[in-house]
């Protein structure tokens, strides 16, 4: 079983819809949670960063962490064709022995159609 599970998609939505992405994980020691966006043939771009449980909002993006369920989500409101990309979740325990080591999901491909 992988430490981080993420549905690969593709997830296709019409422009203006809400995109809902999620990851589940097995390691209860994860405390730091990130979402990256990766356009085709480009490097990942950090979108959101959350520590522990709770919600965080940044413009059209909302990240949620539910540590009790080992489940994280990313919501994109008012989706645009420019949001079409692969979205990767990543997480870290933050402990000394795993410092700097991010456990990535495999990514969900999102397609926003005009």
Partner 1 sequence: DAMVIQNPRYQVTQFGKPVTLSCSQTLNHNVMYWYQQKSSQAPKLLFHYYDKDFNNEADTPDNFQSRRPNTSFCFLDIRSPGLGDAAMYLCATSSRTGYEQYFGPGTRLTVT
**Residues at the interface with partner 1 (CB under 8 A):** 4, 8, 32, 34, 36, 41-46, 49, 88, 92, 94, 99-102, 104-107
CB atoms within 10 A of CB 53: 14
Query: Distance of alpha carbon 113 from its chain centroid, rounded?
Result: 20
Q: Which is nearer to partner 1, 73 or 98 (CB)?
A: 98
Taken in order 58, 59, 61, 67, the sign of the CA dihedral is positive
Q: Kindly tell me which of 36 and 65 has the beta carbon lying closer to partner 1.
A: 36
Question: Residue 38 or 62: which CB sits closer to partner 1?
Answer: 38
- What contacts 11, CB < 8 A, 6 or more positions away? 19, 21, 108, 109, 110, 111
Distance CA 8, CA 100 (A): 25
Rounded to the nearest whole angstrom, what is the least distance from the CB of residue 78 to partner 1 in the complex? 26
Q: How far is the CB of 18 from partner 1 (least distance, A)?
A: 25
**Minimum separation from the CB atom of position 62 to partner 1 (A):** 18
């Amino acid at each position: 079983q992988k430490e981080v599970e993420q549905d690969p998609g593709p997830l296709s939505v019409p422009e203006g819809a809400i995109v809902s992405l999620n990851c589940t994980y097995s390691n209860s020691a994860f405390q730091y949670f990130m979402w990256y966006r990766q356009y085709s043939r480009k490097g990942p771009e950090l979108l959101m960063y959350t520590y522990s449980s709770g919600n965080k909002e940044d413009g059209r993006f909302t990240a949620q962490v539910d540590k009790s369920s080992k489940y994280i989500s990313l919501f994109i409101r008012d989706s645009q064709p420019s949001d079409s990309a692969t979205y990767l979740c990543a997480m870290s325990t933050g402990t000394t022995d795993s410092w700097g080591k991010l456990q990535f999901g495999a990514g969900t491909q999102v397609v926003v159609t005009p």
